[in-house]
């Protein structure tokens, strides 16, 4: 990762022999070259603790580029969960502190539903763009989510298009999907190209796509489109550094250069992209730097704003030591996730509990732990259920999730973590061993090659994991279901409040999931 200040005049690549300009210029659309600097981030998921670095560096960027061609852009999932007040707080930061110029619409933007998204955003005057989606006529998102938009900087006009995730149906709850149809890949390409052509007719030859479709999909889209110059990406949580030919520096359908970026997730990184356009709006030079931004402590300023906006949150415990969030939380076990799974099992009195790794968006920091901190770690509000699960369901669900996750570029959809069992997989996701932990702490091995569908265990997990057409269909309940009106944040708070060591918690991983390398 890069550190320190950016030198605008250093570029990773030059095209067509163009010369480096000594300083950014103020140009118009009449034909002169121009330099553009973009501050970008994505998938912060409402994690204001980790967002602190992203916020402060955006302010620094804004101050350094007051007279330059510059934008502050988000590729979506700025928020997560159905707490409208919390989402409003995050978007106040985006609008009033960061001064974000435009954002994609991620799947988590609508965790609160279309009407909730409208309630949060209708008074913010933030620019959201999504081209590959059709909203029902009565969907309030119609009123402010644009197919495209044009912004002018120092006399130069730039066009913006955007994508919502093509896998929207599988990565969001059914109840929030009503009135929102995200187009499939082919229709997405058609919709984007149509909007690009409309922008071109208006004389726009510098076009930026805010894409919440994932890094690999962005690459495929670029090769099928003519007219996009820059893709600010999100959704896959990829860390895309530099400008590498054939990787994130690609060619459009007509052979012109396109740069794709992405800055991980949860505010760990932010990026600064510098490009030069020639007089036809073609990129001739590009520099893409990622900077580590995550802070080790809570921001006193953001915490003060949060408390004034949302009120003071009750104290739950004090963390003396805690393992950090893994680099890729989808395919690496997490101590905090394991603790939350323990809370589900113990508080609901079941034999096993399950959590999809991707569901946990934040690991709290050392120090005072509030109810809000716990909620922010699992903000989606997918209520818990209690049911029974067969041994066969359990084996197939764990192994299928492991195989899909360990063999994908971004770890999607994520390993199944939980409590009441241990398992061992290889780095290809093959399930090598599964043990059920009985009430005395003894391991009882399961025959993973021939699991018994007549043996069942009492189980608890959330409604997202339980979706028949979701990411883990094996966990769709086959037995009677008791539906609860709360999620794992409640069980975690209740569980921690009863611990004798709640004032000096040490949360470290216990190796309940083992991943071994294949030879």
Angle formed by the axes of helices 48-64 and 84-92, to 10°? 20
Q: Buried b / exposed e across 22-46, counting CB within 10 Å, b at 16+?
A: eebeebebeeebbbbbbbbbbbbbb
pLDDT for 16: 33
> Is the pLDDT at 327 greater than 60, yes or no?
yes
Say what the pTM is: 0.79
Would you state the pLDDT for residue 22? 31
More confident residue, 28 or 123: 123
The pLDDT, as a whole number, for residue 138 is 93
pLDDT tens digits along 210-238: 999 999 999 999 999 999 999 999 999 99
Output the pLDDT for position 33: 80
pLDDT reading at 298 higher than 90? no
234-291 pLDDT, tens digit each: 999 999 999 999 999 999 999 999 999 999 998 889 999 999 999 999 999 999 999 9
Distance of alpha carbon 220 from alpha carbon 484, whole angstroms: 42
Element (H, E) at 247: none
Average pLDDT over residues 34-42: 96
Nearest Cα neighbor of 41 from 126, 103, 128 is: 103
Q: What is the pLDDT of residues 485-501, one digit of tens each?
A: 999 999 999 999 999 99
How far is Cα 48 from Cα 87, in angstroms, rounded to an integer? 10
Strand order in the sheet with 145-146: 13-14, 283-292, 269-277, 34-41, 70-74, 102-104, 128-129, 145-146
Average pLDDT on 442-470 reads: 96
Q: Cα-flanking dihedrals φ and ψ of residue 275, to 5°?
A: -135, 155
Residue 26 reports pLDDT greater than 60: no
Q: What percent of the chain has pLDDT over 90?
A: 76
Check residue 8 and give its pLDDT.
30
What's the rounded mean pLDDT across residues 29-56?
85
CA torsion 358-147-93-248 (nearest 10°) is 60
Cα gap 458→227, rounded to integer Å: 55
Half-sphere exposure of 156 (CA within 13 A, CB side): 28
DSSP 432: E
Contact criterion met (CB below 8 Å) for 389 and 475? yes
- Rounded mean pLDDT of 392-398? 98
Look at residue 1 and tell me whether its pLDDT is greater than 60: no
The CA–CA distances, whole Å, from 423 to 32, 216, 247, 426, 446 equal 62, 30, 35, 10, 10
Q: Is the pLDDT of residue 468 over 80?
A: yes
Contact assessment for residue 120 and residue 128, using Cβ atoms and an 8 Å cutoff: no
Confidence of residue 18 (pLDDT cuts 50, 70, 90): very low
In angstroms, what is the C-alpha Rg of the chain? 24
Contact 373, 313 (CB under 8 A): yes
The stretch 331-350 carries a mean pLDDT of 98
Measure the CA–CA gap between 182 and 190, rounded to whole angstroms.
Answer: 13
Which phi and psi angles does 68 have, rounded to 5°?
-105, 165
Instruction: Tell me the pLDDT of the chain averaged across its residues.
Output: 91
| Residue-range domains of the chain with CATH | 36-292 (3.60.21.10), 313-516 (3.90.780.10)
Return the pLDDT at 218: 98
Query: Do β-strands 431-437 and 421-426 pair in parallel, antiparallel, or remain unpaired?
Result: antiparallel
Instruction: Give 399-439 pLDDT, tens digit per residue.
Output: 999 999 999 988 889 999 999 999 999 999 999 999 999 99
> CA–CA separation, 99 vs 126, rounded Å?
9
Q: Is-contact 179 140, C-beta < 8 A? A: no
Which pairs from 1-10 meet CB under 8 Å and 24+ separation? 1/241, 1/269, 1/290, 1/291, 1/292, 2/289, 2/290, 2/291, 3/291, 3/292, 6/37, 6/272, 6/274, 6/287, 6/289, 8/35, 8/37, 8/274, 8/287, 10/287
Per-residue pLDDT at 162 exceeds 60: yes
């Amino acid at each position: 990762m890069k550190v320190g200040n950016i030198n605008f005049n250093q570029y990773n690549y030059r095209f067509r022999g163009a010369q480096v300009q000594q300083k950014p210029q103020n140009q118009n659309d009449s034909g002169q070259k121009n330099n553009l600097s973009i501050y970008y981030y994505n998938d912060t998921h409402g994690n204001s603790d980790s967002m602190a670095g992203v916020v402060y560096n955006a302010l620094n960027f804004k101050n350094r580029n007051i007279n330059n061609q510059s934008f502050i852009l988000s590729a979506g999932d700025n928020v997560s969960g159905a707490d409208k007040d919390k989402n409003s707080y995050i978007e106040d930061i985006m609008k009033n502190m960061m001064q974000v110029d435009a954002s994609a619409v991620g799947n988590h933007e609508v965790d609160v539903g279309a009407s909730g998204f409208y309630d949060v955003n209708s008074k913010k005057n933030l620019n959201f763009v999504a081209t590959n989606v059709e909203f029902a006529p009565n969907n309030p998102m119609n009123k402010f989510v644009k197919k495209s938009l044009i912004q002018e900087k120092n006399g130069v006009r730039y066009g913006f298009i955007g994508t919502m995730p093509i896998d929207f149906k599988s990565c969001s709850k059914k109840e929030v999907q009503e009135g929102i149809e995200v187009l499939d890949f082919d229709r997405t390409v058609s919709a984007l190209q149509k909007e690009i052509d409309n922008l071109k007719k208006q004389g726009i030859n510098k076009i930026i796509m805010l894409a919440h479709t994932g890094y690999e999909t962005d690459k495929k889209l670029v090769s099928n489109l003519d007219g996009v110059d820059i893709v600010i990406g999100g959704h896959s949580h990829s860390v895309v550094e530099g400008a590498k030919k054939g990787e994130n520096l690609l060619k459009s359908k007509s052979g012109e250069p396109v740069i794709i970026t992405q800055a991980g997730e949860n505010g760990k990184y932010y990026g600064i992209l510098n490009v030069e356009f020639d007089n036809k709006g073609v990129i001739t030079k590009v520099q893409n730097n990622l900077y580590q931004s995550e802070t080790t402590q809570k921001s006193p300023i953001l915490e003060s704003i949060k408390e004034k906006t949302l009120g003071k949150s009750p104290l739950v415990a004090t963390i003396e030591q805690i393992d950090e969030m893994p680099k890729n939380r989808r395919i690496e076990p997490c101590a905090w996730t394991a603790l939350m799974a323990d809370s589900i099992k113990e508080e609901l009195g079941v034999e096993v509990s399950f959590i999809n790794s991707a569901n946990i968006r934040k690991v709290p920091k050392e120090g005072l732990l509030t109810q809000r901190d716990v909620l922010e770690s699992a903000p989606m509000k997918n209520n818990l259920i209690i049911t029974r699960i067969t041994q066969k369901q359990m084996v197939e669900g764990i192994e299928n999730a492991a195989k899909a996750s360990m063999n994908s570029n971004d770890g999607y959809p994520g390993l199944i973590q939980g409590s009441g069992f241990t398992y061992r997989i290889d780095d290809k996701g093959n399930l090598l061993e599964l043990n059920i932990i009985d009430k005395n702490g003894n391991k009882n091995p399961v025959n993973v090659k021939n699991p018994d569908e007549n043996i069942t265990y009492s189980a608890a997990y959330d409604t997202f994991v339980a979706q028949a057409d979701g990411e883990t269909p094996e966990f769709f309940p086959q037995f009677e279901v008791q539906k609860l009106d709360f999620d794992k944040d409640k069980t975690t708070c209740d569980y921690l409040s009863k611990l004798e060591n709640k004032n000096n918690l040490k949360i470290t991983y216990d190796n309940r999931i083992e991943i071994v390398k294949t030879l």
